[in-house]
């Protein structure tokens, strides 16, 4: 041991540490060291390492033996530099004690300023500053902070004494109190501490120092910090560092100030100095909101603002501008800084890379490449894929007025306005007339899909972030507010009633904000998302660096267009079931289902064929030769029939069949667990004519386009829910026969692929065998997750949130791929597939295709592409680039 260093010094241009030592010194300590060594004016001090924190807890709250001596040595070095002595009656050194973990944990641990003051040293401060009021103001602040942070005193009690003092003096502002007032308050504060806690306020500076150090280390394990770490996945082993730094004072008069600034605008990314300051104030006053801080520069001044720092302290302002340039050139990133000016001299107290919006992140990254500060790869890595979500949905115009009537879960981002409707059919009907609607349901179910498609946004009173409404809406890139307990849906009364009493009737207009969960009255104007300007520039770089292709899940030419606009390089999943649901086809579909023999089914299917062909043509045209994967019918047939008695009756009437017949069919098709029932290729195996018709439609569409419009198309036909090689073998043979027949009929030869979804564990486990019949695999990780976990996504809402909250699962496995379980099956499927067929095309088409962490995983196992909902395509592109760049 022995040789271990526990304390790192910084001051007068020299520092033991540097910016790379964040793990040991915490973010604050590492950057104080770095700023010191690049010559910026940083008050001298030292950092006690995070290792001390770790050992402190390992050894039953005892410090390492060597710490005491190291603190003494470093304190002496600070004293020497400052020409002051800690605890000295005539020339006292005062310090701040500041926490600082590796990752910033705002508001978690407190800072103590002005430490070292007592009834003796305060006289020294008066003598030195010639300012009694300042000295006692500093002293009372210290007593307030220390008794709160270290001794556990209730802040309010002292605040109350201060208020009483102001009342007694007949003043409103702290600044109106005199030296004598503050002096009396110090006495009163201490007495109150003694009365409340039964302990004396410590006079001995050394005791104060160790008390403060202990409080910072102690705060690492307080409930607030533990909760914060859990929410932000910060390990407890990291520990916090403690920074002890000589004080500088922004509150010694009008040539003093304190402020915070960003080297660029953190909200827009604009390249100008953005900051706020207060004259004659100490540190936390700027954020505390007691006084309103002022902009530092004239350019950002609004009418009614007090003078800018640029005017009030012009020399310091210029110096600060210079430091801004130095910091940006040094760190090559936007910095968030704290500074204080004492009697016209500027000091730097903190810097770190600044938090920013997605918009700002992109602009700053692109600008910094143009300025030659960073290269394109760095720029790409500067933007977090998940951040992009903010930019990809229409959003409410920030300048608009809003009347909020309720708040639910922000289930799918974006904003939408429209007339309220309460059923999916109403939504569809209204959309047909060109009306914009918001579909309001207690909960949604698969039967509502057409209404959700037609609606601008979805509002549900029940259900969580993984409810049907939430999942489907996110897939559609549609705004959704779920689980909004603030509203009561009254289907019979065609109205909803908000908790605050507001009644919204069918046809009334509301607006949803899927990013905040807010429900508003009336149409709040929105702005549409697009990839342009800096965003487009950045995405251009992204595409240079990524290996994996990105496709979209899209069922209609409209979705395909959106996908293309967002940069999709193909369609990875076209679901065909919606093509059966449309009003003019559902009758034929039902006729097919009710037919007792194959001839009857063929006849009905023949009616659907030209419409499906039209759908595929539209899709192929929109994708202009890019690959399109079409999945043959997947859901069980009962989904196409009504379930309610009255609907059955009504349908029977329109179809001209006895209600009895229809009811029988519905009963016959009923399944206890449709998710694991007669669906996917099991339909294809038992009713081959359905898949034959679909393959025919696909190939005829392709042949006609090739022949008539000179297209390049390679259709990829995908067989769902295969568990056994033979299933795929049969389906493949059927499909090949149809393809050959169609091509012969048209006299054209086109390339086509037949592959399968790997969405059952058995398929992954036997992928080597399945590959003998497949040209490609697409991992359907939604079903693969359901079947691997043995849980149904639609029922998971009852317990999954609890699992995630309590750490039983790290993440919702339907959002982020479960790499250790489901991921293993994906990996195995890839390896076994390639074992049989080296060049087999591999992709993923579950919701995970748009989740950054899952995309990184897909890159690692070597997938050729990911496919996600159109609105997540840019996120997937960026995540794929991050993966290629080894992020």
144 counts as binding ligand ADP under rule CB under 6 A:
no
Residues 747-766, one symbol each (x = binds Mg ion by CB under 5 A, - = not), give ------------x-------
Nearest C-alpha neighbor of 854 from the set 761, 781, 783, 756: 781
Mapped onto helix, strand or coil, the DSSP state of residue 287 is helix
43 contact, one of ligand ADP, Mg ion, none, CB 5-8 Å limit per kind:
ligand ADP
Q: Which of 351, 845, 858, 868 is catalytic?
A: 845
As measured in angstroms, the least distance from the Cβ of 204 to ligand ADP is 21
783 contact, one of ligand ADP, Mg ion, none, CB 5-8 Å limit per kind:
Mg ion
Element (H, E) at 14: strand 14-15
| Separation CA 47–CA 9 (nearest Å) | 6
As measured in angstroms, the least distance from the Cβ of 283 to ligand ADP is 3
Nearest C-alpha neighbor of 880 from the set 542, 563, 376: 542
780 contact, one of ligand ADP, Mg ion, none, CB 5-8 Å limit per kind:
Mg ion
Instruction: Considering the complex, state which of residue 354 and residue 846 has its C-beta at the smaller distance from ligand ADP.
Output: 354
Using a 10 angstrom Cβ sphere, with 0-12 exposed, 13-18 middle and 19 or more buried, the burial of residue 790 is exposed
Candidate residues 340, 412, 562, 629; the one interacting with ligand ADP per rule CB under 6 A: 340
Residue 678 per-residue DSSP state: S
Cβ atoms of 394 and 416 closer than 8 Å? yes
The partner residues of 575 in beta bridges, in order of sequence, read 631
As measured in angstroms, the least distance from the Cβ of 207 to ligand ADP is 20
Cβ atoms of 813 and 787 closer than 8 Å? no
| Separation CA 730–CA 536 (nearest Å) | 46
| Separation CA 848–CA 815 (nearest Å) | 6
350 counts as binding Mg ion under rule CB under 5 A:
yes
| Separation CA 854–CA 817 (nearest Å) | 5
Q: Nearest residue by C-beta to ligand ADP? A: 283
Q: Go through 753-775 and write b for each residue having 16 or more CB atoms within 10 A of its CB, e for each that does not.
A: ebbbbbbbbebbbbbbbbbebbb
As measured in angstroms, the least distance from the Cβ of 293 to ligand ADP is 11
Instruction: Considering the complex, state which of residue 415 and residue 784 has its C-beta at the smaller distance from Mg ion.
Output: 784
Cβ atoms of 530 and 839 closer than 8 Å? no
Q: How far apart are the first and last CA of the chain?
A: 35
Strands 415-421 and 479-482: unpaired
245 contact, one of Mg ion, ligand ADP, none, CB 5-8 Å limit per kind:
ligand ADP
Cα dihedral 199, 201, 207, 209 in deg (nearest 10): 130
Question: What residues from 522 to 561 belong to the interface with ligand ADP (CB under 6 A)?
Answer: none
Instruction: Considering the complex, state which of residue 145 and residue 868 has its C-beta at the smaller distance from ligand ADP.
Output: 145
| Separation CA 795–CA 396 (nearest Å) | 33
780 counts as binding Mg ion under rule CB under 5 A:
yes
Instruction: Considering the complex, state which of residue 759 and residue 812 has its C-beta at the smaller distance from Mg ion.
Output: 759
338 counts as binding ligand ADP under rule CB under 6 A:
yes
Q: Nearest residue by C-beta to Mg ion? A: 783
Candidate residues 15, 82, 212, 349; the one interacting with ligand ADP per rule CB under 6 A: 349
How many other C-beta atoms lie within 10 A of the C-beta of residue 789?
A: 17
Candidate residues 181, 783, 812, 859; the one interacting with Mg ion per rule CB under 5 A: 783
As measured in angstroms, the least distance from the Cβ of 94 to ligand ADP is 8
Instruction: Return the structure tokens found at 191.
Output: 């007495």
Mapped onto helix, strand or coil, the DSSP state of residue 85 is strand
As measured in angstroms, the least distance from the Cβ of 430 to Mg ion is 31
Cβ atoms of 286 and 271 closer than 8 Å? no
Instruction: Considering the complex, state which of residue 44 and residue 431 has its C-beta at the smaller distance from ligand ADP.
Output: 44
| Separation CA 520–CA 402 (nearest Å) | 6
H-type alpha helices, 198-313: 205-219, 223-231, 285-288, 309-312
Instruction: Considering the complex, state which of residue 113 and residue 225 has its C-beta at the smaller distance from ligand ADP.
Output: 113
Candidate residues 31, 111, 444, 526; the one interacting with ligand ADP per rule CB under 6 A: 111
| Separation CA 361–CA 387 (nearest Å) | 9
As measured in angstroms, the least distance from the Cβ of 363 to ligand ADP is 26
Please name the residues in contact with 401: beta carbons below 8 A apart, sequence gap of 6 or more.
524
Instruction: Considering the complex, state which of residue 256 and residue 334 has its C-beta at the smaller distance from ligand ADP.
Output: 256
Residues 304-343, one symbol each (x = binds Mg ion by CB under 5 A, - = not), give ----------------------------------------
Total interface residues for ligand ADP by CB under 6 A: 14
113 contact, one of Mg ion, ligand ADP, none, CB 5-8 Å limit per kind:
ligand ADP
CA 813 to chain centre: 16
Strands 92-93 and 495-498: unpaired
Using a 10 angstrom Cβ sphere, with 0-12 exposed, 13-18 middle and 19 or more buried, the burial of residue 423 is middle
Cβ atoms of 8 and 26 closer than 8 Å? no
Candidate residues 31, 49, 74, 96; the one interacting with ligand ADP per rule CB under 6 A: 96
113 counts as binding ligand ADP under rule CB under 6 A:
yes
Candidate residues 11, 92, 275, 283; the one interacting with ligand ADP per rule CB under 6 A: 283
Cβ atoms of 695 and 735 closer than 8 Å? yes
Residues 224-263, one symbol each (x = binds ligand ADP by CB under 6 A, - = not), give ---------------------x-xx---------------
Q: Which of 393, 453, 468, 638 is catalytic?
A: 468
The partner residues of 777 in beta bridges, in order of sequence, read 756, 842
H-type alpha helices, 546-582: 557-565, 578-581
Question: What residues from 381 to 420 belong to the interface with ligand ADP (CB under 6 A)?
Answer: none
Instruction: Return the structure tokens found at 646.
Output: 């009255």
What is the residue whose two structure tokens read 């507001």?
502
As measured in angstroms, the least distance from the Cβ of 347 to ligand ADP is 7
As measured in angstroms, the least distance from the Cβ of 132 to ligand ADP is 20
Whether 845 is catalytic: yes
248 contact, one of ligand ADP, Mg ion, none, CB 5-8 Å limit per kind:
ligand ADP
As measured in angstroms, the least distance from the Cβ of 78 to ligand ADP is 11
Question: What residues from 24 to 53 belong to the interface with ligand ADP (CB under 6 A)?
Answer: 43
Cβ atoms of 296 and 317 closer than 8 Å? yes
Instruction: Considering the complex, state which of residue 111 and residue 387 has its C-beta at the smaller distance from ligand ADP.
Output: 111
Residues 604-643, one symbol each (x = binds ligand ADP by CB under 6 A, - = not), give ----------------------------------------
Q: In this chain, which stretch among 299-307, 761-769, 779-787, 797-805 interacts with Mg ion, using CB under 5 A?
A: 779-787
26 counts as binding Mg ion under rule CB under 5 A:
no
92 counts as binding Mg ion under rule CB under 5 A:
no
Instruction: Considering the complex, state which of residue 110 and residue 759 has its C-beta at the smaller distance from ligand ADP.
Output: 110
As measured in angstroms, the least distance from the Cβ of 635 to Mg ion is 9
As measured in angstroms, the least distance from the Cβ of 27 to ligand ADP is 9
Nearest C-alpha neighbor of 319 from the set 13, 41, 14, 28: 41
Instruction: Considering the complex, state which of residue 109 and residue 479 has its C-beta at the smaller distance from Mg ion.
Output: 109
Candidate residues 23, 203, 284, 639; the one interacting with ligand ADP per rule CB under 6 A: 284
| Separation CA 585–CA 602 (nearest Å) | 14
Where along the sequence are the contacts to Mg ion (CB under 5 A)? 350, 759, 780, 783
Residue positions annotated with a catalytic role: 468, 845
Where along the sequence are the contacts to ligand ADP (CB under 6 A)? 43, 96, 98, 111, 113, 245, 247-248, 283-284, 338, 340, 349-350
């Amino acid at each position: 041991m022995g040789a271990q260093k526990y304390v790192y010094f910084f001051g007068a241009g020299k520092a033991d540490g540097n910016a790379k030592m964040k793990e040991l010194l915490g973010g604050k300590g590492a950057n104080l060291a770095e700023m010191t060594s690049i010559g910026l004016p940083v008050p001298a001090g030292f950092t006690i390492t995070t290792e001390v924190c770790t050992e402190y807890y390992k050894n039953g709250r005892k410090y390492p033996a060597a710490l005491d001596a190291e603190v003494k040595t470093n304190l002496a070095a600070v004293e020497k530099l400052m020409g002051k002595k800690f605890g000295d009656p005539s020339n006292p050194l005062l310090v701040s004690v500041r926490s600082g973990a590796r990752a910033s944990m705002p508001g978690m641990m407190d800072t103590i300023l002005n430490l070292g003051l007592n009834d003796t040293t305060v006289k020294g401060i008066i003598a030195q500053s010639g300012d009694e009021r300042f000295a006692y103001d500093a002293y009372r602040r210290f007593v307030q902070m220390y008794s709160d942070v270290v001794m556990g005193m209730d802040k309010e009690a002292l605040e109350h004494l201060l208020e009483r003092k102001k009342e007694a003096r007949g003043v409103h502002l702290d600044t109106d109190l005199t030296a004598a007032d503050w002096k009396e308050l110090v006495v009163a504060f201490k007495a109150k501490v003694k009365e409340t806690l039964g302990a004396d306020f410590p006079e001995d500076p050394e005791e104060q120092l160790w008390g403060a150090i202990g409080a910072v280390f102690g705060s690492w394990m307080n409930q607030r910090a533990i909760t914060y770490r859990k929410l932000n996945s910060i390990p407890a082993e990291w520990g916090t560092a403690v920074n002890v730094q000589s004080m500088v004072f922004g509150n010694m008069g009008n040539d003093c100030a304190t402020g915070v600034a960003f080297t660029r605008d953190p909200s827009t990314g604009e390249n100008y100095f953005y900051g706020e300051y207060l004259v004659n104030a100490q540190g936390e006053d700027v954020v505390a909101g007691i006084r309103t801080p002022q902009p530092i520069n004239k350019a950002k001044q609004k009418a009614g603002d007090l003078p800018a720092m640029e005017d009030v302290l012009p020399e310091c302002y210029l110096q600060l501008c210079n430091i801004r340039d130095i910091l940006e050139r040094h760190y090559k990133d936007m910095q968030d800084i704290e500074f204080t000016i004492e009697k016209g001299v500027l000091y730097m107290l903190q810097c770190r890379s600044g938090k920013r919006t997605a918009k700002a992140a992109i602009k700053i990254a692109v600008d910094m490449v143009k300025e030659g500060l960073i290269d394109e790869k760095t720029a790409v890595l500067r933007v977090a894929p998940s951040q992009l979500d903010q930019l990809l949905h229409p959003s409410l115009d920030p300048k608009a007025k809003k009347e909020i009537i309720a708040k639910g879960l922000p289930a799918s981002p974006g904003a939408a306005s429209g007339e309220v409707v309460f059923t999916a059919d109403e939504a569809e009907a209204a959309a047909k007339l060109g009306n914009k609607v918001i579909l309001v349901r207690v909960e949604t179910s698969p039967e509502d899909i057409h209404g959700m498609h037609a609606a601008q946004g979805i509002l549900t009173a029940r259900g969580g972030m993984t409810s049907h409404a939430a999942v489907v809406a996110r897939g559609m890139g549609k705004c959704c507010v779920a689980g909004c307990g603030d509203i009561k849906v009254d289907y019979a009364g065609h109205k909803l009633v908000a908790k605050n009493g507001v009644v919204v009737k069918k046809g009334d207009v509301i607006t949803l904000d899927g990013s905040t969960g807010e429900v508003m009255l009336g149409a709040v104007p929105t702005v549409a998302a697009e990839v342009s300007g800096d965003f487009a520039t950045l995405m251009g770089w992204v595409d240079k660096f990524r290996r994996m292709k990105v496709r979209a899940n899209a069922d209609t030419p409209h979705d395909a267009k959106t996908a293309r606009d967002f940069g999709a390089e193909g369609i990875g999943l076209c679901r065909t079931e919606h093509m059966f649901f449309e009003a003019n086809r559902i009758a034929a579909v039902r006729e097919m289902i009710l037919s007792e023999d194959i001839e009857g089914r063929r006849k009905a299917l023949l009616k659907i064929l030209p419409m499906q062909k039209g759908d595929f043509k539209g899709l192929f045209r929109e994708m202009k030769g890019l690959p399109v994967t079409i999945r043959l019918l997947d859901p069980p047939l009962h989904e196409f029939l009504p379930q309610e008695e009255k609907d059955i009756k009504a349908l029977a009437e329109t179809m001209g069949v006895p209600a009895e017949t229809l009811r029988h069919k519905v009963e016959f098709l009923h399944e206890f667990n449709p998710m694991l029932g007669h669906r996917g290729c099991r339909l294809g195996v038992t009713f081959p004519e359905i898949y034959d018709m679909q393959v025919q439609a696909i190939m005829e569409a392709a042949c006609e386009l090739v022949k008539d419009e000179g297209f390049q198309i390679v259709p990829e036909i995908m067989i769902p829910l295969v568990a056994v090689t033979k299933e795929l073998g049969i389906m493949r043979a059927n499909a090949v026969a149809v393809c050959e027949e169609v091509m012969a009929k048209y006299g054209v030869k086109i390339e086509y692929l037949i592959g399968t979804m790997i969405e059952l564990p058995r398929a992954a486990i036997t992928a080597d065998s399945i590959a003998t019949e497949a040209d490609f695999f697409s991992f359907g990780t939604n079903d693969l997750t359901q079947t691997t976990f043995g849980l149904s996504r639609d029922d998971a809402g009852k317990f999954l949130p609890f699992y995630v909250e309590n750490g039983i699962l790290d993440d919702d496995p339907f959002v982020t791929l479960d790499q250790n379980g489901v991921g293993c099956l994906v990996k195995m499927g890839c390896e076994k597939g390639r074992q049989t067929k080296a060049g087999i095309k591999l992709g993923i088409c579950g919701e995970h295709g748009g989740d950054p962490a899952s995309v990184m995983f897909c890159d690692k196992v070597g997938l050729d592409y990911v496919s996600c909902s159109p609105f997540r395509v840019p996120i997937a592109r960026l995540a794929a680039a991050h993966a290629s760049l080894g992020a």
